[in-house]
Amino acid sequence: MVPDAGAAAGGTETILVVEDDPRVQEAVVETLGSLGYKALRASDAGAALAVLQAGVEVDLVFTDVVMPGSISSVELARRARELRPRIAILFTSGYTENSIVHHGRLDPDVELLSKPYARDDLARKIRTMLRSGGAGAVPRGPQFDSSPTRLRVLVVEDEILIRMTTITLIEDIGHTTIEATSGAEALAWLQQDSSIDVVMADLGLPDMDGRELVARVRTLRPEIAVIVAPGSGEVWNIENTVPLPKPYDETMLREAFAALPARSRPRLDEPA
C-alpha cells in the first residue's frame, strides 16, 4: 500500500497517554504506535505521576481534561513540569477551543486538542508541538504582578476549562491558587484554610447564586477580598467587590487585583 503523501508524519518520541476510558486509551495508544511513537499509558493522574517519578523519559503528556481521582489534570501538568521542566503537555476535551474564555489562554507550551479528533489531527498536533520545541522549550517563569503582595486566591468556577485558564493566569502574575467547583466547596475551604486572601467567584454556580456565596463569605470571613466574574448578560451589583466580567485576559486580571484592598501578606521578594 502506498503511503498517503498528505498524511501527517509521526515520530519516535515517548508519549504518556492519560485516559480513564480503557477503549479510548487503547485506541490512542494504538494510533500513536502506528505513527512510530512509544506510547505509555496511565488511567489517572496519580498513575501518570508515578511513571514520571520513576524516571521514565517522556517527551509529551497527552491527558484528558476531566480525570478521576484526587489529582486533577491541571495539577498533573503542574507537577509534571516540576519533575520535567522541558516536558510538553497536550490536553484533550469534549469542549471546543471556543469554550475557553475568549481572551484567556493556556500556558504557551500547553495546548488543547478538541474531541472528536481524527488520526491526522492528533498526529499533526503532536508533531507540531514536538517539532516546534514544545517538549524542549523551557517554560517561562511567572510574570509577577506589580503588587508587592503574593496572595492566596480561592477560584470558584464550575466550568473546568474556564477554571483551568483562570488558575493559569493568576499563577502567571505571581499568586497561588486553590480551586472549588461550587459554593459549598468554597465555604468549606474558607472554614479550614485561614491563609486565603481573595475569593474569585463565578456568579452562576451549580448549587447557589454567586450573590449568596458572597454574602456567606462576608459572614464567615468579613476581612476577605472578593472578585466577582459575571458572564455575558449577568449584572454585577455586589457592594465592596471588584468586578471582572467575562471574557477577561491577563491585563484585566492584573487590573482587578490592583483594585483590591492592600493586604499585609509577604512580599514577593521576601520569604513567607
**Alpha carbon distances (Å) from 156 to 47, 161, 209, 238:** 27, 13, 12, 16
* Residue 271, pLDDT above cutoff 90: no
* Same domain membership, residue 228 and residue 170: yes
Mean of the pLDDT values across residues 165-191?
90
For residues 142, 166, 134, 57, the Cα torsion angle rounded to the nearest 10 degrees is: 90
* Same domain membership, residue 83 and residue 125: yes
Q: What is the pTM of this model?
A: 0.49
Mean of the pLDDT values across residues 139-162?
66
| Burial state string for 39-75 with b = 16 or more CB within 10 A and e = fewer than 16 | bbbbbbbeebbebbeeeeebbbbbbbbebeeebbbbe
* Same domain membership, residue 160 and residue 89: no
Helix (H, G, I), strand (E, B) or coil at 170: helix
Instruction: Answer for the pair 201, 175: CB distance below 8 angstroms, yes or no.
Output: no
Domain boundary among 131, 163, 197: 131
Query: Given this model, what pLDDT does residue 162 score?
Result: 84
Q: What percent of the chain has pLDDT over 90?
A: 32
* Same domain membership, residue 106 and residue 18: yes
What total of structural domains would you count in the chain? 2
Instruction: Answer for the pair 210, 201: CB distance below 8 angstroms, yes or no.
Output: yes
* Same domain membership, residue 246 and residue 162: yes
Question: Could you tell me the CATH number of the domain that includes residue 219?
Answer: 3.40.50.2300
* Residue 269, pLDDT above cutoff 80: no
* Same domain membership, residue 113 and residue 174: no
Flag the least confident range among 78-92, 108-122, 188-202. 108-122
Instruction: Name the residue range of residue 203's domain.
Output: 152-258
* Same domain membership, residue 180 and residue 94: no
* Same domain membership, residue 156 and residue 62: no
Instruction: Answer for the pair 170, 162: CB distance below 8 angstroms, yes or no.
Output: no
* Residue 106, pLDDT above cutoff 70: no
